[in-house]
Structure 1
Amino acid sequence: MKFENMEIWKRSARLSAELYKALADCKDFGFKDQITRSGLSVPSNIAEGSERSSVKDFIRFLQYAKGSCGELRTQIYIGIDIGYIEQTQGNAWVNETREISAMLVGFINSLEKN
């Protein structure tokens, strides 16, 4: 299965791009670097895992993506609290990370069953 055709990859890549655009003018380079890295890690791990030679490896990279999704959600909460991320936008991103995380769990479970 091509990762480019996976809805979970498309959604996480779109979220990563949104983060980069929204934080382009953020002067706190440490925060910006960290949150964009964790956001970029989600679709990157999905893609890397899909290119691996075994289902076991794919699952491992999907688990990495899920971990990055939790890291990203934490950073979004902090970004809201410190005023770097507007509340409404941040809440939308939090919800998207929750949905992506749930999709990852479902995908991992389906791969483990087969």
Structure 2
Amino acid sequence: MKSYRDLDIYNLAYGLAIQVHKMTMSLPAYEMYEQGSQIRRSSKSIKDNIVEGYGRRRYKQDFIRFLVYAHSSCDETSSQLALIDEIHFESKGLTELISEYEILGRKISKFIDYVDKHWNEN
């Protein structure tokens, strides 16, 4: 692995952040700076924490800490999506996106376990 760009979790988080950003542009104007802003920040935080953790990969505990932050932001994004879906899409429009964030959360969790058990601190 030569870069954080080689991480599946980064690429998935990046792509999902783009989808979330585009979805929020269709929210009512009064939500653009409330719910829309919050979910844009949480979704982008996932990829950013993966990048920052990778930058500190030399120190296993720092790497894990930022991956945990990424996982927490993923949970926050899932929660925000569920609320937006219920309020604005009548629980029909964001099911696939919510599922993709659940998959991302599981992948991040597995990667945290991998780093904890197998990461070389050199």
Same fold (TM over 0.5): yes
Consecutive unaligned residues in structure 1, runs of 5 or more = none
Q: What is the one-letter code of the residue matched to 1:63?
A: V
CA distance in structure 2 between the aligned counterparts of 1:73 and 1:107, rounded to whole angstroms: 19
Q: What is the one-letter code of the residue matched to 2:44?
A: L
**Other-structure match for 1:102:** 106
CA distance in structure 2 between the aligned counterparts of 1:5 and 1:65, rounded to whole angstroms: 17
1:3-82 alignment, distance < 5 Å: 3-26=4-27, 27=29, 28=31, 29-52=33-56, 53-82=58-87
Deviation at residue 88 of structure 1 after TM alignment: 4.5
- On the 8 A contact 2:13/2:104 being kept in 1, the answer is yes
CA distance in structure 2 between the aligned counterparts of 1:3 and 1:111, rounded to whole angstroms: 14
Deviation at residue 93 of structure 1 after TM alignment: 1.2
- On the 8 A contact 2:50/2:67 being kept in 1, the answer is yes
Consecutive unaligned residues in structure 2, runs of 5 or more = none
Alpha carbons of structure 1 residues 43 and 81: separation in structure 2 relative to 1, 3 Å: same
CA distance in structure 1 between the aligned counterparts of 2:44 and 2:11, rounded to whole angstroms: 12
Q: How many pairs were matched up?
A: 113
CA distance in structure 1 between the aligned counterparts of 2:93 and 2:66, rounded to whole angstroms: 28
Q: What is the one-letter code of the residue matched to 1:74?
A: S
SS at the partner of 1:82?
A: helix
Deviation at residue 87 of structure 1 after TM alignment: 4.1
Q: TM-score with structure 2 length normalisation?
A: 0.86
CA distance in structure 1 between the aligned counterparts of 2:26 and 2:108, rounded to whole angstroms: 31
State, as a whole percentage, how many aligned pairs show the same letter.
28
